[in-house]
Amino acid sequence: MSTYPILRLKKGKEISLSRRHHWIFSGAILSDVEQLHSGSLVTVADASGKALATGHFQFGSIMVRLLSFSPREINQDFWVEKLSEAWQLRRELGLVGGTATNLFRWVHGEGDGLPGLIIDVFDQVAVIQTHHVGMHAHVAEIAEAIRQVAGDSIQAVYDKSKETLPSDYACTNGWLWGAKQHFTALEHGIRYAIDVEKGQKTGFFIDQRENRALLGSLAAGKRVLNTFSYSGGFSLAALKGGATKVCSVDISAQAIQLVNENIALNPELQGAHEAITADVIPYLKEIQAEDFDIIVLDPPAFAKNIKARHRAVQAYKRLNATALRKIKPGGCCLPLAARRSWTRPSLPIPSPRQP
């Protein structure tokens, strides 16, 4: 039995645990929490005091994020067990040891029973990103579990949690073990130079893998505009799919430089490519309606919090409307702001299933 502080739930609120829900909201808590600290491990009990689960406490609307649906110690054995389960699943899916794709998400938060933890693999490098202070307290144990589970297939581990944790929490990004790596990662046979230290998120938007493949399947003989292009994932997918011309546009000169590096890594791609450093919205207004058959819209988040939601929705609406007016008749727009749907002015296309 663990020695963690016991957090009792109001009568009937334990039902969410029976449904395997990883979050416990503040309104379900019966105990006084004033003596607890954000990030503390707690044992969750029902109203009668029966121990039910173990998780991280944090002040806020989501007050506990569960790691185990039984009371247990969260130690090195726990991390090895959970990472082994996730690793085996990726092996069964053909991601571990793949020859055409060697970048994948090893741990995806609640989906792998570890709320607040992301682990992305880029060839022989694993990048850890934690989303609350309780999870970050275990980062050394997690890095050691990576070593034990993956063996020689992972040569270095990088912690990139600073941007996802509270600003008043003392945290710096850095290599936890292994030397800084210069490497090329593969996705569907396309080579990418990935900067895990300076790149966005963990270095690459792995969650768009199937959308990139979908774009490639529609790109043959087409002219494609990839806006907010970042490192050019959609641009390269379109070229591999047979696009005759691809234009990558991003306001960041650093991003455009990375696009050009990735294009150079794939000299076998035949279509023409142009990289432009520009503000996307003014650029969209200047192009002609016959210039592109497909426009990809994958902007950064316009809303950082719920208060900005309305303005963000209106901004996405204006962006999508502008792009739709600039596509030739019968063309396609991929509006990834909502991460849900393809739209086509003359013929709607059903939404792809998300990874």
Kindly report, residue by residue over 271-297, the tens digit of the pLDDT.
999 999 999 989 999 998 788 999 999
**pTM for this predicted structure:** 0.86
Say how many Å lie between the first and final Cα of the chain, rounded: 37
Q: State the Cα–Cα distance between residues 219 and 247, nearest whole angstrom.
A: 13
Alpha carbon separation from 271 to 8, 111, 211, 248 (Å, rounded): 62, 38, 20, 13
Is pLDDT larger for residue 311 or for residue 261?
261
DSSP structure class, residue 167: T
Fold classification of 205-335 (topology level): Rossmann fold (3.40.50)
Q: How confident is the model at residue 332 (pLDDT cuts 50, 70, 90)?
A: confident
What is the CATH class of 76-188?
alpha beta
Residue 222: which of 327, 339, 335 has the closest Cα? 327
Buried b (16+ CB within 10 A) or exposed e, 123-155: bbbbbbbbbbbbbbebbebbbbbbbebbeeebb
Q: State the Cα–Cα distance between residues 203 and 127, nearest whole angstrom.
A: 8
pLDDT in tens, 54-72: 999 999 999 999 999 999 9
Please tell me the number of Cα atoms within 13 Å of 97 on its side-chain side: 10
Per CATH, is 6-68 categorized as 2.30.130.10? yes
Q: Is the pLDDT at 119 greater than 60, yes or no?
A: yes
Residue 93 tokens read as 């899916």
Q: How confident is the model at residue 99 (pLDDT cuts 50, 70, 90)?
A: confident
Q: What is the mean pLDDT of residues 99-124?
A: 95
Counting residues of the chain whose pLDDT is more than 70, the rounded percentage is 93
- Ordered by start, the domain boundaries in the chain are 6-68, 76-188, 205-335
pLDDT in tens, 149-192: 999 999 999 999 999 999 889 999 999 998 776 778 899 999 99
